[in-house]
Amino acid sequence: MKDIETTIALVENYTECWKQFHHFLQLVRAKKFEAEDESQFLELKSLLAQQFELVQAAVECKYPTREEVHKLLAESPSLKYLIEMDSDAVRMAEARWHKIYIGLQSILGQLKVQHEAGPKTEAASSGWSFFKRARA
C-alpha 133: how far from its chain's center? 21
Return the half-sphere exposure (C-beta side, CA atoms, 13 A cut-off) of residue 112. Answer: 9
Residues of the chain with pLDDT under 70: 1, 119-136
Return the half-sphere exposure (C-beta side, CA atoms, 13 A cut-off) of residue 123. Answer: 15
What's the rounded Cα separation, in Å, for the pair 127 and 136? 16
Cα end-to-end distance, the chain, whole Å: 24
pLDDT tens-digit profile of 16-42? 999 999 999 999 999 999 999 999 999
Its pTM stands at: 0.81
